[in-house]
Amino acid sequence: MKQITTYQNQKVLVLGLAKSGEQAARLLKKLGALVTANDAKPFDDNPAAKSLVDAGIRVIAGSNPLSLLDEDFALIVKNPGIPYDNSLIKAAQASNIPIITEVELAAQVNEALLIGVTGTNGKTTVTTMITQMLNQHRTLGQAKFAGNIGVPATEVVQTLGKDDVMVTELSSFMLAGIKTLHPHIAVITNMYTAHTDWHGSREAYVAAKMNITKNQTPDDFLIMNWDLPEQRQLAQQSRATVITFSQKGAPQTDAYVANDQLMWRGEVIMPIDQLAVPGEQNVANALAALAAAKMAGTSNAAIADALRAFTGVRHRLQYVMTYQQRQVYNDSKATDIEATQVALRGFQQPVILLAGGLDRGFTFDRLVPDFKAHVKAVVLFGQTQALLADVAKQAGIQTIRFAKDAPAAVPMAFELSEPGDVILLSPANASWDQFPSFEVRGDQFIDAVEAYTNQKEQHV
């Protein structure tokens, strides 16, 4: 980590705690800042706030008082989830107080090679794949993942030096608050429609995603999905050298599929059937990851060995177990329609689908063809269960059941299934109507599966 004096004796407000806010506050204190942490959660129910007080950091918990801005802060480090229409943020903007997110702070002290990964779907898988590829056969330094993957960048950056690599998963919320963050290698896995309730429009969402490349130069690399026409247009906005990948084998791409092989500029990396994770989406993920690894100087052999050993990421089309010839998968991270479409298309077997969640005002008609092709029965829950039931009826699915929530759907799914079926949690919705996060939803689903089968989650 670089030692900087930018924040020495500067008053800095960390707005919103959780893991990233807590670590940002700790880093700022280490850099000599006069830190105030503010979180709306009451102090008595706020472990992060208590931990910061124990570390000698001032904490104001229980509300976000506008009077805080009377203290003449030089900077606000905002939790990525706090929208810009928050009253305190709007008042700070009116007062011209700089506002950044935690990953921007981490980037300011980073001296490792920085790889950034964003996109609507696949970014956690690609981030993990890249990290494992870069550590395969490595003899100097190490690669570590950070960011939206669940490990604060401000925590990881303190452990890295010039011989290391930080592979950072960057959400649109994070990227909306960057100033100088400059990945040498940036990856955009894909771009669909998501989080428009937060950003206000799809255009604003896309603009936030494209911030990943705004500070890049021709000496840097931007890896983009050449199977998506929009990506080809967006690539023209970047000054970076564009590196392309194509699952469909588009002409003149760098990483692509040919003759059922993963290829890099005419060289065979490995056969697709040697990938340890199922589904077409993981072929695309592997192509994006190998392109990043190649630009970081990784050998073909290291890439292939890493992909053969990669068995998936928790909550992302994660294999849980096989019980009485039923395969069970946890895809709780499928918080949008496209992710569920991708999951369903990865299976040839009949699927018992568990779905539902937060109503964001979307319709689900796009799921009708995938339901027709892949789904045998549905067990639905959450605010969107009626909307999804209508889709199931349009698809001609006869067996439609309703459950209180995802864990309660598990016994029903097993009862509706037969040997050879897949039981798949792939909600197509955010979790926030019933769960604090998709991780909690997935964990409780796995707990329910383990309780029903009386056997433990399997790691393959």
pLDDT at 280: 85
Q: Mean pLDDT throughout 66-94?
A: 94
Report whether 83 contacts 22 (CB < 8 A).
Answer: no
Helix (H, G, I), strand (E, B) or coil at 57: coil
pLDDT at 458 over 90: no
**How many other CB atoms sit within 10 Å of the CB of residue 252?**
8
pLDDT tens digits for range 115-168: 999 999 889 999 999 999 999 999 999 999 999 998 999 999 999 999 999 999
Q: Is 120 annotated as a binding residue?
A: yes
pLDDT tens digits for range 164-198: 999 999 999 999 999 999 999 999 999 987 787 78
pLDDT at 318: 86
Q: Is 125 annotated as a binding residue?
A: yes
Give Cβ neighbours of residue 92 (< 8 Å, ≥ 6 apart): 69, 73, 76, 99
Q: Mean pLDDT throughout 239-261?
A: 96
Q: Which residue ranges form the domains of the chain, and what is each CATH number?
A: 11-97 (3.40.50.720), 104-309 (3.40.1190.10), 318-453 (3.90.190.20)
The angle at the Cα of 231, spanning 300 to 147, to the nearest 5 degrees, equals 65
pLDDT at 460 over 60: no
pLDDT at 459: 59
Q: At what angle do helices 280-295 and 337-345 cross, to 10 degrees?
A: 100
Q: Is 11 annotated as a binding residue?
A: no
Q: What is the pTM of this model?
A: 0.80
Band the pLDDT of 366: cuts 50, 70, 90.
very high
pLDDT, mean over the chain = 95
Q: Is 124 annotated as a binding residue?
A: yes
Q: Is 123 annotated as a binding residue?
A: yes
Give Cβ neighbours of residue 408 (< 8 Å, ≥ 6 apart): 381, 448
